[in-house]
């Protein structure tokens, strides 16, 4: 069972009954739950920097803006916040697309409490592969390409170290 006490969770769904049910389950587990009935509310909160959320759970199929829009906006604005996508209209292709775009989990409705809580626990845990191998294996992951030193702004400023002829001459 995940420890979600005092975690701030935003649930986005256009079905008021599902919002009430999920809110009841998660508040019973100790979470602080906020609701949004359409994706536009999430976009407004992100744009206005309203509130902090530890997790966002969004429906995939909603009017006007869908769960993919929420996922994309959250990944861009708050990449550290996990997003769980849920839907009654799933397919392996849609699931793969959501997971490729950064969803922490993809759940098909109707949801059951153990399934939901397991997805939340996974969302707050390190990636499975890293957990299984241990942290010492992180060094094997691909690193981003380094830029030449003369293109790295401020790297040497104030250090007394500067490449000859570089922009950090003293």
Helix (H) or strand (E) holding 70: helix 67-77
- pLDDT tens readout for residues 15-38: 999 999 999 999 999 999 999 887
pTM of the model: 0.70
* Helix 67-77 and helix 92-100, axial crossing angle in degrees, nearest 10: 20
Spans of all domains in the chain = 8-131
pLDDT confidence tier of residue 103, bands split at 50, 70 and 90: very high
Whether 84 has a pLDDT exceeding 70, the answer reads yes
- Strand runs labelled E in 95-167: 105-108
> How far apart (Å, rounded) are the C-alpha atoms in residues 54 and 8?
5
- Mean pLDDT value across residues 104-109: 94
Assigned CATH class of 8-131: alpha beta
């Amino acid at each position: 069972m995940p420890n979600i006490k005092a975690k701030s969770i935003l649930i986005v769904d256009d079905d008021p009954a599902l919002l009430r049910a999920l809110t009841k389950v998660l508040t019973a587990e100790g979470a602080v739950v906020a609701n949004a009935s359409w994706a536009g509310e999430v976009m407004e909160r992100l744009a206005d920097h309203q509130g902090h959320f530890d997790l966002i759970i969004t429906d995939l199929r909603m009017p006007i803006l869908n769960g993919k829009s929420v996922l994309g906006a959250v990944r861009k604005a708050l990449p550290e916040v996990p997003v769980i996508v849920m839907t009654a209209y799933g397919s392996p292709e849609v699931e793969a697309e959501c997971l490729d775009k950064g969803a922490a989990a993809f759940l098909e409705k109707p949801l059951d409490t153990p399934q939901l809580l397991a997805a939340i626990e996974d969302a707050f845990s390190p990636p499975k592969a890293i957990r299984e191998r241990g942290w010492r294996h992180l060094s094997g992951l691909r690193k981003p390409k380094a830029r030449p030193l003369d293109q790295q702004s401020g790297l040497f400023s104030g250090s007394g170290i500067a490449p000859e002829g570089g922009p950090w001459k003293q």
